[in-house]
Structure 1
Amino acid sequence: MTAATIHHLTFGKMEAQISTLGAECISLKKNGQEYLWQANPDVWGRHAPVLFPIVGRLKDNQYTYQGKSYAMGQHGFARDRNFELTEKTDRKLTMILKADETSKKVYPFDFELSIGYSLSENGLNVDYHVHNPSGEQTLFFSIGAHPGFGCPLEPEKESFSDYQLDFGHKSITNLPLYTLEGGLISTKKSSLALQEGKLNLDYKLFENDALIIDVDPVTTVSVCSLKTGKGFAMQFSDFKWLGLWTKEKGAKFLCLEPWNGIAATTDHDGTLENKLGIVQLALQASHKASFQVDLLG
């Protein structure tokens, strides 16, 4: 595999670093302070992976398409492939990944996945563009983001439980949750109780893996320290689901994950076309989705 190249973006008080490996953002700073999780391999060795062509886990880590079985690990392969830089200025860039012989061994489709990053005054805009170049075959895929943020941002002053989630709707008292069983979506559902649209963070919330909610009616979330006022926020109205995740007690990060796709259900029949959340892209059509991150404080 070709060695990854790191590209730097700057705009005012904002800085970002993007790796060609997985087109992954590996650093996001405001006024010199790092907000992105720095991939401690002893805890979680990634920063903000791109999830494609699946989101989540497949049943038995495999699927079938047109009668043939294919193996694929959780979240797909794009996060482990080198992208090609196609455009760059001081504040933005675009990278692309295309189908090749390697990808077609596990995913028998032509595709073009472009990912754009653009710094704003207080944050980062991320654009996903999936194109089906085929004139013969519908493209079945999912795509999602998995950025991890430092939480707490200043461990010497605060803890994970000093942070509060705010979904921006005071009238919301609870959110329906998808329940995970062995990484798959269960037929059971639970709920997340809120107080005026807010929730104090606690590691106990994540004892059964990620919290997964429907984006409608929630399209924004902020995570803010009650001690320092610093934090991060995300707008994700182009997506269908949002995942919230941290790995273990004391992990010191929180992931905000907008998805157009989701893990397979426990009763999935294994066919890609029937998988929950799969996007069907017509011949030579495109799918676009964006999310925005703002750094607070």
Structure 2
Amino acid sequence: MTDATIHHLTFGKIAAQISTMGAECIALKKNGLEYLWQANPDIWGRHAPVLFPIVGKLKDNKYTYQGKSYTMGQHGFARDRNFELTEKTDHQLTMVLKADEISKKVYPFDFELSIQYSLSENGLNVDYHVHNPSEEKTLFFSIGAHPGFGCPLEPEKESFSDYQLDFAHENLTSLPLYTLEGGLISTKKSTLALQEGKVDLDYKLFENDALIMDVGPVTAVSVSSRKTGKGFAMQFSDFKWLGIWTKEKEANFICLEPWNGIAATTDHDGSLENKLGIVELAPQANHKAGFQVALLG
């Protein structure tokens, strides 16, 4: 595996850094203030990993396809592979990962995954493009994002509990949630209570792991400080699920995670084709999905 290269993008007051390792955004600043979590290895050692070709955890970290068993860790392998830069301007770049002998040991498919990052005056746009190059074989996959943001953005001035989630629906009083059991989707459900579409952040919200919800009732969310007004907002209507996650005990970050895919269910039979959230992509077909991050304040 070759060493990663860091590429810099700028647009007005916005600046970003993208690593070829995992095609991961590792810095995102506005007016010099860092909005992206800086991967403290003692808490959570990643910034904004790309989740492919699965999202979440597999039952026993295994799946079957055409009678053969494969092992794959949580969130797949793309986040730990070096991508190839194929296009770059001052404010935009594209990176590509293709199937090879290494990937086929754990994932027996041809694929081409292209990720485009582009800056705007408000923030960052991220677009995923999955192409199935096979002329006869269906591609089974999931894809998602896992960006972490500083929360609080300015720890010397504020705390996690000074921030608020806002789903931009004033009449929304609650959201149904999936629950996790050992990292897998349980048959149990829970509810996130809201007041006028909002909820104050509290580490207790994450005592049972991530908040996972369907996209549809909501297609956007913002996280902002009631003290400074600074924060970040995400629009994710191209995706089916949203995960919101942090670690407990003063982790000082929060992840907003749009997914086309989800962890396996506790009763999954192991078959990749039958997995909840799997995308079936016909030969020569394309799957496109993107999300937008606005930096507030």
Query: TM-score band (shorter)?
Result: over 0.9
Counterparts of 1:18-33 in structure 2, within 5 Å, are: 18-33=18-33
2:292 maps to 1:292: yes
Partner of 1:87: 87
Corresponding residue of 1:264: 264
Matches within 5 A, 1:1-297: 1-297=1-297
Deviation at 1:247, TM superposition (A): 1.4
SS at match of 1:161: helix
Q: What SS does the aligned partner of 2:106 have?
A: coil
Q: For 1:52, give the aligned amino acid.
A: F
| Alignment-mate amino acid for residue 3 of structure 1 | D
CA deviations on 1:238-286 (whole Å, 9 max, x unpaired) are 0000000001211000000000000000000000000000000001000
The whole-number CA distance in structure 1 between the counterparts of 2:255 and 2:179 is: 18
Instruction: Tell me by how many angstroms 1:156 deviates.
Output: 0.6
Amino acid at match of 1:152: P
In structure 2, distance between residues paired with 1:135 and 1:171? 48
Q: 1:247 aligns to what SS in structure 2?
A: coil
**Aligned-pair distance for 1:124?**
0.1
TM-score normalised to structure 1 length: 1.00
Question: Counterparts of 1:95 and 1:13 in 2: how far apart (Å)?
Answer: 24
C-alpha distance in 1, partners of 2:46/2:281?
29
CA–CA distance in structure 1, aligned partners of residues 121 and 284 of structure 2: 35
Residue aligned with 1:227, SS = coil
Q: CA deviation at 1:289?
A: 0.1
Q: How many residues align?
A: 297
Q: Is the 8 A contact 2:177 2:213 kept in 1?
A: yes
For residues 51-96 of structure 1, the C-alpha deviation after alignment (integer angstroms, 9 at most, x for no partner) is 0000000000000000000000000000000000000000000000
5+ residue gaps in structure 1? none
Task: Please state how far the C-alpha of 1:12 moved relative to its aligned partner.
Answer: 0.4
- TM-score (norm. length: structure 2): 1.00
Secondary structure, aligned partner of 1:232: strand
Aligned-partner SS, 2:103? helix
Amino acid at match of 1:24: E
Runs of 4 or more consecutive aligned structure 1 residues displaced over 6 Å after TM superposition = none
Amino acid in the other structure paired with 1:265 = T
Give % identity: 87
Q: Report SS of the residue matched to 2:265.
A: coil
**Is the 2:204–2:248 Cα contact (8 Å) retained in structure 1?**
no
1:82-138 per-position Cα deviation (integer Å, ceiling 9, x unaligned): 000000000000000000000000000000000000001010000000000000110
Aligned amino acid, residue 99 of structure 1: A
CA deviations 1:4-56 (Å, max 9, x no partner) are 00000001000000000000000000001100000000000000000000000
- Secondary structure of the residue that 1:273 maps to in structure 2? helix
Gaps of 5+ in 2: none
Query: Equivalents in 1 of 2:207, 2:196: separation in Å?
Result: 24
Query: Matches of 1:54 and 1:99 in 2, distance apart?
Result: 15
Shift of 1:235: 0.2
- What amino acid sits opposite 1:9 in the alignment? L
State how far apart, in whole Å, the 2-side matches of 1:87 and 1:177 are.
Answer: 39
Per the TM alignment, residue 171 of structure 1 is displaced from its structure 2 partner at its CA by 1.1
DSSP 3-state at the match of 1:217: coil
- Take 1:114 and 1:157, find their aligned partners in 2: how far apart are those partners? 39
* CA distance in 2: counterparts of 1:5 and 1:158, whole angstroms: 34
Q: Is the 8 A contact 2:119 2:125 kept in 1?
A: yes
- Taking the aligned partners of 1:16 and 1:129, their CA distance within structure 2 comes to 21
